Amino acid sequence: MKLEHCSLLSHNTFGIDVAARCFLEYNSAEELGRLIADRQITEPYLHIGSGSNLLFTKDYDGVILHSRIGGIEVIDETDESVWVRVGAGVVWDDFVAYCVAQGWYGAENLSIIPGEVGASAVQNIGAYGVEVKDLITVVETMNMRGEIVSYPVEACAYAYRDSLFKRSDMKDVFVIYVCFRLSKIERYTLNYGTILQELENHPNVTLEAVRQSIIAIRDSKLPDPHVVGNAGSFFMNPVVSRAQFEPLQRQYPRMPFYEVSENKVKIPAGWMIDQCGWKGKALGAAAVHDKQALVLVNLGGATGADVIALSDAVRASVCEKFGIDIHPEVNIV
Ligand code: EPU
């Protein structure tokens, strides 16, 4: 499908009203190959998933590409594990729901994260102690020469919300399929935040109970993008050295933190923003969410510039109070 001068309003969960010169959607790897061969994909271009981690600041004078490659196919199976190959355009949570229904363990903590499978592998989505890199085995891509190249997970340079595919020199590499390994043996990751507490509402710990608990926790904190525009966490949680962390911890003994390595500690940016008094505060049509300060929301009609102005003000406060520069997690276009 090709649309000229296309509104992007329904293609970004922040609900920013901008347009693209051209919007191209393809249903298969072969169709993507044809678009490349026919030179339909001209510079500048940008591949998007469901636009749940994007902030548009202006009209896009180029080609926006969107994959609709579908399918969830079992490619191998043992008594312990199952390997599945999933199209980049599959809605992430449809895949999680499928795994839970099949009795495959591993993806349930990533329930109802917005977005699609291709973008999940680019962004290394994560929640409640699990990152998608823990499940990925291979990422299949097509480049702008039409070549198919598969990257084993070890080659994907996965880190916190980061991967090889986010590097600027990988801009012409498009994810077409992602292969995952799930466990057929019962195992859960339950030691994060309030999961165990939430599970007390269920008679037994089952895959479905864990999924429902995660959904309940997320629903209680994160705004529904269908109701109020947002892109989930706006900032990344900063990772600081222990030398920087220790004096802060003395000053703020109740500051939550996660150990990253012997010398590194991750501090929740949401907590710091909250401490700065930003929770629920608005600047123009953009606001800090009143239940989770890491999330910025569009109160209605906000422009990308409104959100950036709020983000800059929040960053300046955090830097002034804690001496830490926080960085956006969303892609600003
Ligand atoms: N906190 C506050 N006030 C706030 C927000 C958080 O005090 O307004 C405190 C919480 O009480 C908790 C800590 O900060 O002690 C961490 O909060 P939370 O568990 O809600 O998680 P987060 O660090 O703010 C990260 C991810 C989320 C993911 C959750 C759960 C990032 C950038 N965000 O948020 O991912 O769902 O952990 O694992 O790493 C996303 O990436 O879009 C996203 C929603």
168-181: per-residue pLDDT in tens? 999 999 999 999 99
Give 227-263 pLDDT, tens digit per residue.
Answer: 999 999 999 999 999 999 999 999 999 999 999 999 9
Does the CB atom of residue 165 touch ligand 1 within 6 A? no
Task: Supply the residue whose CA is at minimum distance from atom 9 of ligand 1.
Answer: 271
Average pLDDT, the chain: 96
Contact 251/324 with Cβ under 8 angstroms? Answer: no
Mean pLDDT within 140-163: 97
Task: Supply the residue whose CA is at minimum distance from atom 5 of ligand 1.
Answer: 270
Q: pLDDT-derived band of residue 4, with 50, 70 and 90 as boundaries?
A: confident
* Ligand 1 centroid from CA 15, angstroms: 22
Choose between 125 and 193: higher pLDDT: 125
Mean pLDDT within 140-158: 98
Helix (H, G, I), strand (E, B) or coil at 329: coil
Q: Does the pLDDT value for residue 1 go beyond 90?
A: no
Does the CB atom of residue 152 touch ligand 1 within 6 A? no
Place of tokens 């123009």: 284
Sheet holding 148-152, edge to edge: 72-77, 81-87, 173-183, 136-143, 148-152
- CA–CA separation, 299 vs 222, rounded Å? 15
Positions marked catalytic: 161, 233, 329
**What pLDDT score was predicted for residue 269?**
98
Give 217-236 pLDDT, tens digit per residue.
Answer: 999 999 999 999 999 999 99
Q: pLDDT-derived band of residue 2, with 50, 70 and 90 as boundaries?
A: confident
- Classify residue 185 by burial, with Cβ atoms within 10 Å: 0-12, 13-18, 19+: exposed
Cα of 289 vs its chain's centroid, Å: 18
Please identify, by atom number, the ligand 1 atom nearest to the C-alpha of residue 329.
32
Does the CB atom of residue 134 touch ligand 1 within 6 A? no
Within 13 A of 97's CA, how many CA atoms are on the CB side? 9
Does the CB atom of residue 128 touch ligand 1 within 6 A? yes
Give 63-115 pLDDT, tens digit per residue.
Answer: 999 999 999 999 999 999 999 999 999 999 999 999 999 999 999 999 999 99
Backbone angles phi, psi at 25, to 5 degrees: -125, 140
Q: Provide, for the chain, the percentages of residues in helix, strand and coil under a 3-state DSSP scheme, each rounded to the nearest 5.
A: 30, 30, 40
